[in-house]
Chain A
Amino acid sequence: MKFDTPAGINPIDRMAVVGKPHDRVDGARKVTGTAPYAYERHDVVPDALYGFILGAAIAKGRITGIDTAHAQAMPGVRAIVTYQNAGKLTLGSKNTAKLLAGPEVEHYHQAVALVVADSFEKARAAAAAIHVDYGRAAGHFDLAAAAKSAKSDGGEDEDGSKSPPIDRIGDFAGAFAAAPVTLDATYTTPDEAHAMMEPFATTAAWTGDALTVWTANQMIAWTREDLATTLGLPKDKVRVDSPFVGGGFGGKLFLRADAVLAALGAKATGRPVKIAMQRPLMFNNSTHRPATIQRIRLGADRSGKLTAIAHECTSGNLPGGSPETATDQTKLLYAAPNRLTAQHLAVLDLPEGNAMRAPGEASGLMALEIAMDEMAEKLGMDPVEFRIINDTQVDPEKPERPFSQRQLIKCLRDGAATFGWSARDARPGRRRDGDHLIGLGVASAFRNNINFKSAARVRLGRDGVVTVETDMTDIGTGSYTIIAQTAAEMMGVGIDRVVVRLGDSDFPVSAGSGGQWGANSSTSGVYAACVKLREAVAARLGFNAPDPDFIDGHVRSGNRSVALADAAKDGDLVAEDTMSWSGLSRKYQQSTFGAHFVEVAVDAYTGEIRVRRMLAVCAAGRILNPKTARSQVIGAMTMGVGGALMEELVVDKRFGFFVNHDLAGYEVPVHADIPHQEVVFLDEADDKVSPMKAKGVGELGLCGVGAAIANAVYNATGVRIRDYPLTLDKHLDWLPTV
């Protein structure tokens, strides 16, 4: 099915199941620990050996020797895999750095060896007995230093990060020079880690020349393809299965070392092998959100109308890597006739930078939305009003292209009313609560909507049960539940009559989980397959009417009503289809919007920052399940608190690695850091995006949170911090005297 004209009325609009806050259909399994994750597949692979990965001890250079003799002689060791015996490995299309080093080392903790042994303890001990000699080469590890030689570079279209290297509209320089009120400020965001709770993990087994990996992955088809490429196998000899994934946030979008090495270890030993990458290796071995240096210039007239906007971003990556497209949202968020966005990419020899939840916008809004706050203050305007008067209903670069739906103003207004924004004192440092300085902050949220081709297969069984199969993943996002709701709505059955099977490359290829495209795209694929199944059912039951009703387990038209299950009396009915998109996203800019409101308390003596209240108002099309969607948003808000206040991969600029590479050193929010969170969804249905009329929310919830917190901290203290994270040392010396 092709989606190329706006959706009319369809069975989803009934919203008898879709749009309801159903508990997760996989909930009971998750809360009892009976949902099997990748390392736990005793059910299908009872006899796996254990793999342990050794990471490179240098950031750049060469392996000059590997002595495995002692390790090989240790008890229980079955095989040691290094580049010397791994055979030819080809770089996958989505990997920048190789997943097994040798002889060159491209980054610190790049995998150097895999030990396979008959227990975890033995594999770990043997890995420690491998001796590797390195020839260390000089590298570039300092973004600020490398920024001077950074070249212009743009993003890719595929993940929605399509900022070209330089984009000019009107005459920015002239308008900025002429503007009576201007801001020119530079903001920095640090390298951040996904730090999902389930480590990279794979169980691999060969049957003859065919490989199966049970792995933790967001994008089954990408990973199948890249695993086949890496190992030189035909794609049909590789099966990838990820029914449960313990978080990803972009970290599990791609093929990683655990999958490749488990496959190699299993080949070497003739036995299945399982690997869970040790936590201290993960941060340097895999990808991270790259640090940015962002310069923003704003010019406005005295009424507060922006006349000039410029946003330039510099990030770094390994040779061949992509930039952090932090200027994306600036092209679309506010009106102004004169605009400039530019991206620069420096070569760094740190681990590979790549997508982390809301790549581009998360970092970009951390800067842009502080700049908007600073500008509002210069203009003497309320920051909510300042944003409202600069709203645009069309793509500012192509005014003939309207937004499909844009309720940013309502998000801001409703949020201000709900949050009690009017209690904010525009003069910073004025509100006190005992020893605490109290501040309120706001920021706009913006993230583009992306639709990805997505297929599904649906089967009606003799028992009337509808089974959905698609390689879509549920990484905590609620895919199992919203897909069950979609199929239930389409086939007119209760959600308890639907079985959803996900994450297996034997199933039709879905959009996968990333870029907040998963919910809308994958349910649209299920919608398309269900449309076909409805046709098959109607034909089987002899309905001549064009579109009978599917309701309460029955198919109805006029006076005729037949039980749905009757259609499968003589055998299962199966239908498969793919939803693809064309045209409408060129005609209409499709984006999601929101407003974040935050109250913080800053200890007047120590400078310690605590978040007291948080509210997000989101406009993201139809909300398929308000319970799971709300969880996506509060989870994103929580990650936003981390980004604002604590998360930072600290770079050792001499040796080129992230120093704090475990969960003790890389701090993420814990229970004590997170207050009760409020989420409001505006009632929307966007007929330009899909028959589901839904858009994503999982990344929107993160976009802008950091800046709302930073703005609240400024409102509390009067000290403006432009370098994330906002740790107390950055404002302690300047706090108001007490």
Chain B
Amino acid sequence: MAITGASDARTVPPAPPVATMPVSLEINGRRHDLRLDPRTTLLDTLRDHLHLTGTKKGCDHGQCGACTVIVNGQRINSCLSLALQHDSDKVTTIEGLGQPDHLHPMQAAFVKHDGFQCGYCTPGQICSAVAVLAEIKAGIPSHVSPDLAALMHPTNAELRERMSGNICRCGAYSNIVEAIADVAGAVA
């Protein structure tokens, strides 16, 4: 097989180079000073510039939750924001929660309850789950909370509602909710 040059002989003057901009991020407790193409999402910054590939890209359009990370204590879809929007922000990724030899309790619960199969949605599920329990603890209501003023509890309905932005096509949902409930019980 042979590859020749560009398929079109017409020449167009080269476009000006892309300007980069500085940004400083604190990721898993470590500061990173970067210069980035302003179009770079937080997700691609993590995966391609910092090689933190635990955070996954499932859709790049805010439709699946695989890219969920925790920014300043709140979970977000990292594909939906540009890195430059996060100057000085504190980002926690799956790598920051735990490592194979010292798992975060949520990671351990996912292994114990087999809350995954292919593992591709898993880091997002786990980051989401950690943040969900914090949201419930903080009394932030959801669509299914029966009483907005009362104490929130990590009921099955609350967990399923709050986790619904994280798709698992392998269908591990029933086990994921058991893993989260296990951790919630342990913390409570």
Instruction: Give the B-binding residues of A (Cβ under 8 A).
Output: 23-24, 26-37, 39-40, 42, 66-70, 72-76, 79-82, 84-89, 119-122, 125, 194-199, 231-233, 244-249, 264, 267-268, 276, 278-280, 475-478, 627-628, 630-632, 634-639, 662-664, 668-672, 674-677
Complex alpha-carbon distance, A26 and B119, angstroms: 9
Chain B residues 19-39 with CB under 8 Å of chain A are: 37, 39
Contact yes or no, B56 A198, CB < 8 A: yes
Contact yes or no, A278 B1, CB < 8 A: no
Q: Given the complex, which residues of B lie within 8 Å of A276, measured CB to CB?
A: 57
B24 to chain A, nearest CB (A): 20
Total residues of chain B contacting the partner, CB 8 A: 81
Q: Given the complex, which residues of B lie within 8 Å of A32, measured CB to CB?
A: 54, 94-95, 97-100, 103, 107, 123
Contact yes or no, A246 B120, CB < 8 A: yes
Contact yes or no, A85 B56, CB < 8 A: no
- Excluding A37-B53, A37-B120, A85-B5, 5 further A-B contacts by CB distance (< 8 Å) are A85-B7, A197-B121, A631-B172, A662-B61, A670-B165
A615 to chain B, nearest CB (A): 12
B173 to chain A, nearest CB (A): 4
CB closest residue in chain A, given B53 = A40
Q: Given the complex, which residues of A lie within 8 Å of B159, measured CB to CB?
A: 671
Whether A75 contacts B173 in the complex (CB less than 8 A), given A477-B117, A663-B64, A672-B161, comes out as: no
Chain B residues 31-79 with CB under 8 Å of chain A are: 37, 39-40, 44, 47-48, 51-61, 63-64, 66
Stretch from B9-17, B84-92, B133-141, B147-155 contacting the other chain: B9-17
Contact yes or no, B117 A122, CB < 8 A: no
**CB-based closest 9 A-B pairs:** A33-B54, A638-B171, A246-B120, A476-B117, A30-B119, A476-B118, A635-B171, A40-B53, A87-B1
| Complex partner residue of A119 from B8, B37, B57, B156, CB under 8 angstroms | B37
Q: Given the complex, which residues of A lie within 8 Å of B37, measured CB to CB?
A: 119, 121-122
Contact yes or no, A232 B1, CB < 8 A: yes
Q: Given the complex, which residues of B lie within 8 Å of A674, measured CB to CB?
A: 160, 171, 173-174
Q: Given the complex, which residues of B lie within 8 Å of A628, measured CB to CB?
A: 114
Complex alpha-carbon distance, A245 and B117, angstroms: 10
Complex alpha-carbon distance, A85 and B4, angstroms: 5
Complex alpha-carbon distance, A635 and B119, angstroms: 13
Contact yes or no, A637 B171, CB < 8 A: yes
| Complex partner residue of A278 from B52, B60, B64, CB under 8 angstroms | B60
Instruction: Give the A-binding residues of B (Cβ under 8 A).
Output: 1-8, 10-18, 37, 39-40, 44, 47-48, 51-61, 63-64, 66, 93-95, 97-101, 103, 107-108, 110-112, 114, 116-123, 126, 156, 159-161, 163-178
A118 to chain B, nearest CB (A): 10
Number of A-B contacts defined by CB within 8 Å: 259
Q: Given the complex, which residues of A lie within 8 Å of B93, measured CB to CB?
A: 33
Contact yes or no, B118 A196, CB < 8 A: yes
Contact yes or no, B63 A662, CB < 8 A: yes
CB closest residue in chain A, given B143 = A672
Contact yes or no, A34 B15, CB < 8 A: no
Q: Given the complex, which residues of A lie within 8 Å of B64, measured CB to CB?
A: 197, 279, 663
Q: Given the complex, which residues of B lie within 8 Å of A478, measured CB to CB?
A: 117
| Complex partner residue of A73 from B13, B101, B123, CB under 8 angstroms | B13
Whether A476 contacts B170 in the complex (CB less than 8 A), given A80-B6, A267-B3, A662-B63, comes out as: yes
List 28 contacting pairs A-B, 8 Å CB cutoff, sorted by A: A29-B119, A31-B110, A31-B122, A34-B54, A34-B95, A34-B100, A39-B57, A69-B8, A69-B12, A73-B13, A75-B14, A75-B16, A80-B6, A87-B3, A119-B40, A197-B58, A199-B58, A246-B120, A279-B63, A630-B114, A634-B173, A635-B171, A639-B169, A670-B173, A671-B160, A672-B164, A675-B174, A677-B174
A681 to chain B, nearest CB (A): 15
Q: Given the complex, which residues of A lie within 8 Å of B110, measured CB to CB?
A: 27, 31
Whether A247 contacts B174 in the complex (CB less than 8 A), given A35-B119, A68-B6, A635-B117, comes out as: no
Contact yes or no, B111 A85, CB < 8 A: no
Complex alpha-carbon distance, A24 and B154, angstroms: 27
| Complex partner residue of B172 from A73, A74, A79, A634, CB under 8 angstroms | A634
Q: Given the complex, which residues of B lie within 8 Å of A231, measured CB to CB?
A: 1
Contact yes or no, A671 B53, CB < 8 A: no
Contact yes or no, B39 A247, CB < 8 A: no
Q: Given the complex, which residues of A lie within 8 Å of B2, measured CB to CB?
A: 87
Q: Given the complex, which residues of B lie within 8 Å of A125, measured CB to CB?
A: 39
A53 to chain B, nearest CB (A): 13
CB closest residue in chain A, given B113 = A627
Q: Given the complex, which residues of B lie within 8 Å of A42, measured CB to CB?
A: 51, 53
CB closest residue in chain A, given B18 = A75
Contact yes or no, B6 A31, CB < 8 A: no
B44 to chain A, nearest CB (A): 6
Contact yes or no, B6 A197, CB < 8 A: no
CB closest residue in chain B, given A278 = B60
Complex alpha-carbon distance, A231 and B120, angstroms: 30
B85 to chain A, nearest CB (A): 15
B105 to chain A, nearest CB (A): 11
Contact yes or no, B103 A28, CB < 8 A: yes
Q: Given the complex, which residues of B lie within 8 Å of A82, measured CB to CB?
A: 7
Q: Given the complex, which residues of B lie within 8 Å of A663, measured CB to CB?
A: 58-59, 61, 63-64, 167
Contact yes or no, A249 B169, CB < 8 A: yes
| Complex partner residue of A122 from B18, B111, B170, B171, CB under 8 angstroms | B18
Q: Given the complex, which residues of A lie within 8 Å of B18, measured CB to CB?
A: 75-76, 121-122
Q: Given the complex, which residues of A lie within 8 Å of B173, measured CB to CB?
A: 634, 638, 669-671, 674
Contact yes or no, A195 B8, CB < 8 A: no
CB closest residue in chain A, given B108 = A31
Contact yes or no, A74 B15, CB < 8 A: yes
Q: Given the complex, which residues of A lie within 8 Å of B95, measured CB to CB?
A: 32-34
Contact yes or no, B114 A68, CB < 8 A: no
Contact yes or no, A73 B12, CB < 8 A: yes
CB closest residue in chain B, given A83 = B7
Contact yes or no, A264 B3, CB < 8 A: yes
Complex alpha-carbon distance, A226 and B161, angstroms: 44
Contact yes or no, A27 B111, CB < 8 A: yes
Whether A197 contacts B120 in the complex (CB less than 8 A), given A70-B12, A634-B175, A635-B172, comes out as: yes
| Complex partner residue of B58 from A26, A74, A198, A639, CB under 8 angstroms | A198
Q: Given the complex, which residues of B lie within 8 Å of A73, measured CB to CB?
A: 11-15
CB closest residue in chain B, given A633 = B171
Contact yes or no, A627 B114, CB < 8 A: yes
Contact yes or no, A86 B119, CB < 8 A: no
Complex alpha-carbon distance, A638 and B58, angstroms: 19
Complex alpha-carbon distance, A39 and B48, angstroms: 10
A706 to chain B, nearest CB (A): 14
CB closest residue in chain A, given B14 = A73
Q: Given the complex, which residues of B lie within 8 Å of A76, measured CB to CB?
A: 17-18
Q: Given the complex, which residues of B lie within 8 Å of A264, measured CB to CB?
A: 1, 3
CB closest residue in chain B, given A102 = B7
CB closest residue in chain B, given A197 = B120
Contact yes or no, A671 B118, CB < 8 A: no
B86 to chain A, nearest CB (A): 17
A96 to chain B, nearest CB (A): 22
Contact yes or no, B166 A671, CB < 8 A: yes
Contact yes or no, A197 B15, CB < 8 A: no
Complex alpha-carbon distance, A66 and B4, angstroms: 15
